[in-house]
Chain A
Amino acid sequence: MSDKTSTSNESFLNDAGNRAMLFQIALLALVVFIGYYLFSNLQANLANRGISTGFTFLNEPAGFPVLIHLIEYTEADTYGRAFVVALLNTFVISFIGIVLATLIGIVMGLARLSRNWLVARLATVYIESLRNIPLLLQMFFWYFAVLSALPSPKNSLLFGDFMLNKRGIYSPNPIVQDGFGLVIFGFIVSIIASIALIVWAKKRQIRTGDWFPAYWGSLGIMIVVTLAFYFIAGSPLEFDLPQKSRFNVTGGMVLPPEFVAVLIALATYTGSFIAEIVRAGILSVNWGQTEAARSLGLADNLTQRMIVLPQALRVIIPPLTSQYLNLAKNSSLGAAIAYPELVAVVMGTTLNQTGQAIETIGLCMLVYGSLSLSISLFMNWYNKKMSLTER
C-alpha cells in the first residue's frame, strides 16, 4: 500500500508493511526472550538439583517392572528398552482400539438410521449416553467396578478353552511348530491369487459388462488356500491351554484387566463419536442420488454400495481422521489405571526416577507428534484419492 510519490511526506510508521515488519520483529524478540528466560531458569534449576541433561540415561538399567510387555523385558533392562516396551503398548492399544471403534461406530451409526424404531432408539441411547460421559470415568467403571468384580482365579468363569477372572481373560496360546513357514507361504500365494482375481473381474466387467463377486471370491480363495496349505504342512500349530491351578492360572495367553478396561472404554467411547460421523455422512448424500440409482434399476444393496457409500465416505473421512487421532491420544489415560503405556512409563516412572524432565517429556511429545502426523498424512492421501474429481 506504500505510495512511492508521497513517502517523503509520511512517517515510517504510516506504511502497513513497515508496521507489520516492526510488529513481527517485536514478536520474534518476545518469543526468543521468553524461550531464553525459561531455558536459562531450567539450566540453573537442573544444575541445582544435580541433573545432567542428555539422553545417556536411556542406557542405564531401569530397575522397575513393566507388567505388560510384548517383547522380552526384565527389571535389569535399560530405560531405553522400557521406552520401547511402552511405545509398543501404546501402538497396540491404539491400533486395536481404532479397528474396534470403527466397527462399533459403523454398526451404531447405521442402527441409528434404521427404519426399525426400537433399533434406532437403542442406538440413540447408546450414542448419547457414552458421548456425554468422561472417558476417564468410563475407564474407572470398567476397571474398578466391572473387571475387579470378576471371580478369583480359583472360581474362573469358563467358556470352552477361554477363562475369565480377576487377572484377565485367558485364551489358548498358539505355538508355532516346524513347517509353519509353508502356511505363511500359502497365505501369500492366496493374497496374490485374490489380487489377480479382482484385476481380472474388473477387466472383464469393463469389457463385457458382466459382474463377478470378486471380493467374496477372493475371501474364499484366501480361506481355502491357507487352510489347504495348513493341512498339507501337517497342522503345524499347537495350542497351550490355560490350566487352573490352586491359586492361579498357568499357561495360555492372558489379556490383563488393565488392557481390557482401556480397550473397552476407548473403543465404545470413540465408537459413539464415529457413529455420529457415519450417520452425518450418510445423511449428507442427497436423497435424489438414491432415487436416481433406483430409477436406473439398481438393487438396494448396490445403491448403497456403489452410489451412497462412496459419496458418504468423502464427508466421513476428515472427521474420522481426527477421531482416530483422539483415540491414539486418549490411550494415554490408561496411565490412570496403571496400563503401562507411554505416558505412564516415560512421564511417570522414568521421570520420577531420573528427574530428566526435558528429555522424557520431549520424547513423549515427539512420539505423539509423529503419530498424529503419520495418521493425518495417511488420511490426507486417502482423502485425496476419494475426493471428487472434477473436470
Chain B
Amino acid sequence: MSRRVHRRTLLRGAIAGGAVAVGLPWLEIMSPARRASAAPAAPKRIIFWFTANGSLPAIWTPPSDLSIESHPIHAPLAPHKDKLLFLDGVDQKIAYESIGDGHQTGMACLLTNAAILPGTLFCEGSCEAGMEQYVGWGGGVSVDQFIAGEIAKGVTTKFRSLELGVQVKSATVWSRLSYAGPDLPVPPREDPNQNFNDFFADLGTDPFALEVLRKKRKSVLDAIKDDYTSFNARLGKDDRVRLEQHLDAIRAVEMRLDATGQVGEACEVPTVELPGPDYQQNALYPVTGKAQMDLLTMALACDMTRVASLQWSTSVSNVRFDWLPLILGEGHHDLSHYDDAAGDAQADITTINRWYSEQFAYLLQRMREIPEGDSNLLDNSVVVWVNELGQGNSHTRSDIPFILAGGCQGYFDTGRVIDYGGEAHGRLLVSLTHAMDVPVDTFGVAEHSQGPLNGLAL
C-alpha cells in the first residue's frame, strides 16, 4: 500500500512553529478630505473577554482600596486600576435552573441569560434515556449579538460584530459564547493569519482595484441570491428555514461590501506577529492570543465594528501553560479540579490567572494608546471579562469573576470593587445595553434581569 504524505504536514515542517511578521505596504487608504471629514465623535465599543474554568474566589476579590500592586492575580492590572470595576457576588442564577453540566450552563447562559435548549447533540455514546441531562445549544440571543443588531439598525460597519477566538477548536455548547438567537451559535474567527487579510487586505489595495473587486462581488452575489431564492422555494419547511438563514448571511456579506466605516485617526495596517499555520498548536497559544489582540485593537481603531469578543480557548479549557513556571504543569482544567487544600495546584491556578491578567493588561494598554480626539479607545469602550464559572473545582456558577474595564464614555464609575452579594448576572447584561445606548429593561429571562445593576453607572 502507498503511504501518502499529507500536504499540511510538509507545510508544518517548513514553518516549524516560527512566527511570521506580516505588514502590507501602507497605501493611502483615505484621501485627506475623508480623513478630515472623519470628525464626528468616536463611537462607543463593547468587547467581551472570555477565560475559562473559574478562578479562586478566596484570592480573586481585590481589597476595596484596589491596592493590587502586589496582588497574586491582579498585579499586572495595577497600571489600569482606575479604569477597572471588579464585581463581587454576581451570580449566574439562570445556570442553576438550566439543563446541562456546570461548564455547559456556565458557558451557554453567560451572555444569553437563557436556559439551554433540550437536545441530543452532545452526549457521548448513544443518546438514550435520562433525557433531562441532554442538551442542545444555548437558548437565546447573546447580549453582544443583541447590541450589534441594535447598532446595525443605525450604522453599517465592515463587520456587524467580530468574534475572535484563541484555540477554540471545537464547536459544541461548551465552546460557543455568542448566539445570534436560540439554537444559533456564532463561531469565532480563530486564524489570525486569515483575520489579517479579512480585516486589512482592503486597506492595502488600491482604490481602483477595490472598486472592481466590489463590482465583481456584487455581480456574483446577485446571481447566487437568485439561485437561492428559486432553490429555497422547492424545499420543505425545515430545510427552507435553514437556507433562508444562508441567504440572509449572503445579504449581510453584500451589505458590508459598501461599508468603509468612519476610519479613525489611528487606523492603519498594523504590523502583527502572526503565528503561521500552526496557530492551533498549544505552544503558540500566547503568540496567537497576542496577534488576535493586536488585530482586534486595530479593527476597533478603524471602526470596523463596535462589538467584539475575544474568547480564550473554551469552557473546560485544558490548555497546558508550558511557558509558565508551574509546579504540577497539568492542563488548566485538570489543575482546576484539585481540592482547595491542594497547594501546588492552587499555586498553578493562580499563576495561570495572573498570566491572563497580563494579557488583559496588554489589551487595555494597546487600547489606551489609540488616540480618539481628546480621548482614547479604552475610555470610549467597555471591556467585559467573563468566565463560565466562579470557582473551578466545584463548578460554581455563582460569584463569577467579572471585571469591567474602560468607562464607555463616562457611563461607568470605574476604579472600584463592588460587592453585590448575590445579584443575578442578567442585570449586568442589562447594564451593558444601557452603557451602549441600546437600553432594555430585562435581558433573557426577566426574573433574573430586573433592570441594570445598581451603583455601576456614574
* Mutual binders A and B: no
Q: Which A residues contact B (CB, under 8 angstroms)?
A: none
Q: Which B residues contact A (CB, under 8 angstroms)?
A: none
